[in-house]
Amino acid sequence: MHFPRIAACAPDDVDLNTCAGVVTSLREEFASRFTGVRPLALGFKLFTSPFDFPVDEAPAPLQMELVELQCNDELKANYRTASPLSFFRDLVLPSNKFPNYIEHVKCIVAMFGSTYCCEQLFSKMKYTKSSIRSQLSDHHLNDILLLSTSSIDPDIESLLHGKQHQPSH
């Protein structure tokens, strides 16, 4: 038995109506949250498999570039061995041969990076502006968020040496 805990439960202990309600609720939640993803499906497919994408389904400004890309055996061989991001970053982007396709790729990649940044910032803001520190002004909250999301390590020693700690009267 793969799930000994489940096997230990008696079938009478499980309310199937409750389970069905939870599954239905999950289904509805997924459907509502991901409604905006379906229209982007072709764009994602064009990004993830440009060499297999039907040219006639591509947007008009990309069709000629897509034909050139699909006919380039060297790029096709490199695509098979590299990750999509490294392929575009190291091979397609420096070539400047496919400007419309590069813009398409940038839009797709930026979608996920910006979502992550927003979620990270919101999480830090929620943590910072807790009930303990609810009196923070917007200006101070902005400064704290800037510091918490920055990768710069301040040189505390040099900052302290540059300050006059006891002001003159």
* Range 12-43 burial, b when 16+ CB lie within 10 A, else e: eeeeeeeeeeeeeeeeeeeeeeeeeeeeeeeb
pTM above 0.75, yes or no: no
DSSP label at residue 1: -
Convert the pLDDT of each residue in 30-54 to its tens digit: 888 778 777 888 999 998 889 999 9
| Percentage, residues of the chain above pLDDT 70 | 87
Higher-confidence position of 161 and 44: 44
**What average pLDDT score do residues 104-131 get?**
75
Cα 105 from chain centroid (whole Å): 14
Task: Give me 136's structure tokens.
Answer: 């923070």
Higher-confidence position of 81 and 7: 81
The rounded distance, in Å, linking the Cα atoms of 154 and 133 is 23
pLDDT of amino acid 11 = 67
The rounded distance, in Å, linking the Cα atoms of 88 and 47 is 10
Is the pLDDT at 113 greater than 70, yes or no? no
Residue whose entry in the numeric block shows the structure tokens 């020693």: 157
The rounded mean pLDDT for the chain is: 81
**Band (114; pLDDT cuts 50, 70, 90):** low
**Band (58; pLDDT cuts 50, 70, 90):** very high
pLDDT of amino acid 38 = 79
For residue 124, how many other CB atoms are within 10 A of its CB?
A: 15
Is residue 110 within 8 Å of residue 120, measured between CB atoms? no
Is the pLDDT at 67 greater than 90, yes or no? yes
Residue whose entry in the numeric block shows the structure tokens 């910032």: 121
